[in-house]
Structures are given as structure tokens and as C-alpha cells.
Amino acid sequence: MIYRQGDILLKPINSIPEEARKKNLVLAEGEVTGHYHQFVDPTIVSVYEVNEQQYVNVREKAELTHDEHHNLFIEKGVYEVVRQREVDLLNEVRQVMD
């Protein structure tokens, strides 16, 4: 199953790259609002990163929170985190910020 919360998309994958390193549970921070897309329970979720690409290992159903979006309950699995991007009038690609 694919999950979307604002500008964050979680897409199921088979495995996390071996070179990825564990990081905190925050997937993204809104630069304008200061709100976070984050998981709340480090005992059931791990977030990894390599080359600015994030991955999530959900060991049992886990809650993804954000102050301006509905909380999501993510099923057990391994996911790639995809950040929504936009192109401005100068054709520069950048990440969308909440």
C-alpha cells in the first residue's frame, strides 16, 4: 500500500540499501510552519538515510503524525520516502515545503 501525508509519500520496497544509516524519526520539517512529519514510537519504527534518500522500516503498525494533516497508521513493511517536488517559473526543481 502507498501512503501520502501532505508532501510525503511512502512507497513499499523490498529492502533498505545496506549503506543507509539510522537517523531520527523525522521525515520532513515544514520550513514555514515548523511542523514535522514524524513517527512517534522508536521501538517499532526505524528511519534510515543514504545520499539524502530516506527509508522506513515499520516493524508493526505505526503512527505517522503531522500537526496540519491527519495522522496516518502505517502497516508493517519497508518503505522508500518520496518527497513531492515542484518546478518554479525558472524551471528550477525543488522540494515542496509544508
| HEC profile of the chain | CCEEECCEEEEECCCCCCCCEEECCEEEECCCCCCEEEECCCCCEEEEEECCEEEEEECCCEEEECCCCCCEEECCEEEEEEECEEECCCCCEEECCC
N- to C-terminal Cα separation, the chain: 23
pLDDT digits (tens, 9 = 90+) for 9-57: 999 999 999 999 999 999 988 666 677 899 999 999 999 999 999 999 9
What's the whole-model pTM score? 0.81
Position 7 confidence tier, pLDDT thresholds 50, 70, 90:
confident
Place of cell 505505526: 62
Q: Residue 67: its pLDDT value, please?
A: 79
pLDDT > 60? residue 98 = no
Model confidence at 89, in pLDDT bands (50, 70, 90)? low
Mean per-residue pLDDT, 81-88: 72
